[in-house]
Structure 1
């Protein structure tokens, strides 16, 4: 038996033969020309792109959940007017349709990659759309993954496209293993939503021969090839015991000594509500509203917005639903707004609350729709602003919410300045919510989409824990709650530490809720405080994790 190490991003144990996805789409011949009928050539390219867009939409509709939003965004790429204009320009100049699509997408690819952040993370999605369109033009079949009734396999790839994996299930795939990606990659997001164990950033994975038996631990990130019978039995027994232990803990989140810690779900739209309810979420701690705004030529109507908010509010009568106002701009541009000046570093540009201040009409329309939805629902609506850096920004947002009839507005703590001066922000905000994904990225100056920096993209970094403690302490000075809505809350051990640091609620992807609920139930608040102190005293993430776990013995019983 040999072993590889990666980053576990979806918990559980998967066993099966390796299915190595080694397909590489052929590149159309450089310099290839059409026969002179540019109109017919362009019509063929347009039909191909539309066929790809329709196929992606259909896959998204069948898959639902997180996959639906991801595939809908890909379909919008296929219909992007700017890309279509680039294809048309090349075809008019004599380039054959397949090569024109390849080159036009290539130009856009360079722009996305240079932008960094969110847009750079979409390069793989753009490549997938390109390759599918070229295949349609050339009359080649697009390879599909096995979905038959055979033994579930371990899908191994350099990276995975959402369209490849969206229609798979635990009955078909035992686990995912990729050489690229990180905790926030599409592979990680979809794997967690499907409940399939997954390991990413695993060097050498594609060198494993297809058919090799593989044992994948999505919690530890360990990947074993040709495991012994004893190893398999031990892993299965441990996983079964873990599932029994997790299912035994139900009800609201709390520590062993009865300290209440509401456990909430992160959602990307109404399609995620079913999973949140299934896993026992007490409410919504982060409702991402970008799906309403991105990849469209016109702003969403008031009625469309109100309906989307109302559907989620009505799912949790009496429970809190925390809506994050639009987090766009810079690396997530809005097509219906005039383009701003070129930003050489979009991650540090005009985004989040900065964009809303530049375009107050967008925020006003969203707050009006939110207030209308709240008036029609028994759900307890709370609204928070993204990327707040100063007390002045917090005061501005609170005033805007108050004017719209939405009191107790909150702010997200995603940049170090907000954590360092959390008390100043809490003087104006009704609550704080720590977004550990961005907070880690900015504190360590490490792009969270870059697999090479996975070691720095770790919320166990003691510096990040210090910032969370500062945020919680600053909120407490004013009697304000301070929750955590970043994916750090999905780590059972780290969830206990976050409570020890002062977090008053935890929000995460829905499938992670049972493990966190069980972990909290096995430890007192004092144990959480001791674990947090030990982690902060460490000098690195691995040491912090080990130090915290020494104060959390219940995790071993749960095999977490």
Structure 2
């Protein structure tokens, strides 16, 4: 698409916001001439030694970036460094070398084996294919002596576009120089999307054709509409960008609490995963934590951490918010796409539909019991009263069994609504649990039977899908009738317009990345509860997510 004519490319909206700047493409391949010039006259042992040196260098670079980052980005960089050091990958490379491949070819074949495995696993494991490809490029460049691939340093504020972006690419982005992100692949819950929300950078994914636009072309990105206008009329584009800047200044002064214009209170909460992210989130205008992802604390552990170690990790988060701002702790959401060496089940034919989340307690009840023991100990040591919820609950019996365990410890028990059966049974679940929390990422994936990491299915994994909204409304209505709280902790909560729709359905709290709180709070403060309810009704009556967005906005913008 080497043209200067004004055209619009449609994608999937992820992070709202407007940016007008020149396009800067990320080209991540190692030059073919560098690979072809590589001296293949190495013995197997020499090639393995060369590989190990390269792997150590790449891993150290990634680890250094991890140490300089925080939150989700730091965890992802650390995990990517682990891929570079992985002994299984090294063994696969040696096997290929012994079969006669030269080193770059052996590395490529070994990575392909892992790609096939990760793709079969699906979910977030399939999303790690981007990380595998990233590690392959970095290792190859180091082996053949080429410059390290990655994001170029923008000479001026730019819209960064790529086929896809690995965590190592996005983690170090400076919002002052990268004013928007656009990818051809990826979905609304990809790593790129999550880090964009952390940074507050407008983001659009699944924008087919964006890599055909030549570098330096001025583009206008609308993260709320999911559009990229190539070579737009300059005056109109600059006015939209100026309006966005005025909005940013307004958001910077928003201090909460969450409420509609006519005073209907909505608790705005933070998603966190360790003490560092909790202390950072505690500085934001949030009323507590709606989702503490405990499994993220232990991604690098090969054996189950002792109760004392778990207690310390949980206490860090509870301490950051104190007794006045409650924390909702999710028990280990391991299995399938969240690889915990001490929890995952081996050799499952379909891990995404296998033993994950609360189902692990069925095969290893001690795992849950010890975690609950650690949570109670952390609560006592910090003088706080956390709420505890279980992931991947599908039946009333599961909810009742979990609630009995948590209530025995004197704590409130909740379950996540992530599968359609839980939404349908919400009223009956609330006979045993104290609250519900809707995880829209998985709920969308399971409702639409579409892998949320597949860019080609981004239109199906859009949380504005009317079928997903219908299930959310069923759960919210169950909470309203039972006078119990029903929150949303999936990425949908960070979309200001969708947040208003969720509130209109009866959702009582919204949990998100701290950077998204002001935008959501502002949207609610400019809308009445009646408008939110009318927007919810309008969205539920549509046939697809595009119509749902448009119908809701038509009411909310009045």
Please give the alpha-carbon distance, in whole angstroms, between the structure 2 residues aligned to 1:67 and 1:330. Answer: 21
Which residue is equivalent to 2:119?
113
Please give the alpha-carbon distance, in whole angstroms, between the structure 2 residues aligned to 1:346 and 1:395. Answer: 25
Which residue is equivalent to 1:135?
141
Please state if 1:60 is matched with 2:72: no
Please give the alpha-carbon distance, in whole angstroms, between the structure 1 residues aligned to 2:447 and 2:44. Answer: 52
Which residue is equivalent to 1:531?
535
Match of 1:365 among 360, 363, 370: 370
Which residue is equivalent to 1:102?
108
Tell me the CA shift for residue 101 of structure 1. Answer: 2.2
Report Cα offsets for 1:199-219 as digits up to 9, x if no partner.
211111111111112222222
Report Cα offsets for 1:343-380 as digits up to 9, x if no partner.
1x222111111123211222122212211111122443
- Normalised by the length of structure 2, the TM-score is 0.93
Report Cα offsets for 1:469-504 as digits up to 9, x if no partner.
211222334332111111111111211111111111
Please give the alpha-carbon distance, in whole angstroms, between the structure 1 residues aligned to 2:416 and 2:453. Answer: 20
Which residue is equivalent to 1:557?
none
Match of 2:341 among 335, 341, 345: 335
Tell me the CA shift for residue 446 of structure 1. Answer: 1.6
Which residue is equivalent to 2:17?
12
Please give the alpha-carbon distance, in whole angstroms, between the structure 1 residues aligned to 2:133 and 2:29. Answer: 11
Q: Is the 8 A contact 1:275 1:511 kept in 2?
A: no
Larger displacement relative to structure 2 (254-263 or 241-250): 241-250
Which residue is equivalent to 1:506?
510
Larger displacement relative to structure 2 (457-466 or 198-207): 457-466
Which residue is equivalent to 1:291?
296
Please give the alpha-carbon distance, in whole angstroms, between the structure 1 residues aligned to 2:231 and 2:549. Answer: 29
Report Cα offsets for 1:235-278 as digits up to 9, x if no partner.
12321332244345422111222221100011233332354234
1:398 and 1:143, CA in 2 relative to 1: closer, same or farther beyond 3 A? Answer: same
Match of 1:22, SS state, is coil
Please state if 1:443 is matched with 2:447: yes
Which residue is equivalent to 1:174?
179
Q: Is the 8 A contact 2:183 2:210 kept in 1?
A: yes
Q: What aligned pairs does 1:87-486 form with structure 2 within 5 A after superposition?
A: 87-147=93-153, 150-317=155-322, 318-337=324-343, 339-343=345-349, 345-403=350-408, 405-486=409-490
Please give the alpha-carbon distance, in whole angstroms, between the structure 1 residues aligned to 2:406 and 2:233. Answer: 60
Q: Is the 8 A contact 1:154 1:175 kept in 2?
A: yes
Match of 2:556, SS state, is coil
Please give the alpha-carbon distance, in whole angstroms, between the structure 2 residues aligned to 1:472 and 1:142. Answer: 49
Please give the alpha-carbon distance, in whole angstroms, between the structure 2 residues aligned to 1:350 and 1:211. Answer: 48
Please give the alpha-carbon distance, in whole angstroms, between the structure 1 residues aligned to 2:517 and 2:122. Answer: 31
Please give the alpha-carbon distance, in whole angstroms, between the structure 2 residues aligned to 1:141 and 1:248. Answer: 43
- Normalised by the length of structure 1, the TM-score is 0.93
- CA RMSD across the alignment: 2.2
Report Cα offsets for 1:305-356 as digits up to 9, x if no partner.
222211211111211111111111133343235743431x222111111123
Please give the alpha-carbon distance, in whole angstroms, between the structure 1 residues aligned to 2:491 and 2:387. Answer: 20
Match of 2:159, SS state, is strand
Question: What residue ranges of structure 2 are gaps of 5+ in the alignment?
Answer: 1-5
Question: What residue ranges of structure 1 are gaps of 5+ in the alignment?
Answer: 555-560
4+ residue runs over 6 A deviation: 27-30
1:331 and 1:177, CA in 2 relative to 1: closer, same or farther beyond 3 A? Answer: closer
Q: What aligned pairs does 1:534-549 form with structure 2 within 5 A after superposition?
A: 534-549=538-553
Please give the alpha-carbon distance, in whole angstroms, between the structure 2 residues aligned to 1:504 and 1:94. Answer: 62
Please give the alpha-carbon distance, in whole angstroms, between the structure 2 residues aligned to 1:92 and 1:547. Answer: 61
Q: Is the 8 A contact 1:29 1:99 kept in 2?
A: no
1:406 and 1:122, CA in 2 relative to 1: closer, same or farther beyond 3 A? Answer: farther
Match of 1:42 among 32, 44, 48: 48
Please give the alpha-carbon distance, in whole angstroms, between the structure 1 residues aligned to 2:412 and 2:188. Answer: 32
Tell me the CA shift for residue 26 of structure 1. Answer: 5.1
1:12 and 1:296, CA in 2 relative to 1: closer, same or farther beyond 3 A? Answer: same
1:87 and 1:174, CA in 2 relative to 1: closer, same or farther beyond 3 A? Answer: same
Q: Is the 8 A contact 1:154 1:174 kept in 2?
A: yes
Report Cα offsets for 1:174-223 as digits up to 9, x if no partner.
22111111111111111221222222111111111111122222222221
Q: Is the 8 A contact 1:285 1:485 kept in 2?
A: yes
1:197 and 1:411, CA in 2 relative to 1: closer, same or farther beyond 3 A? Answer: same
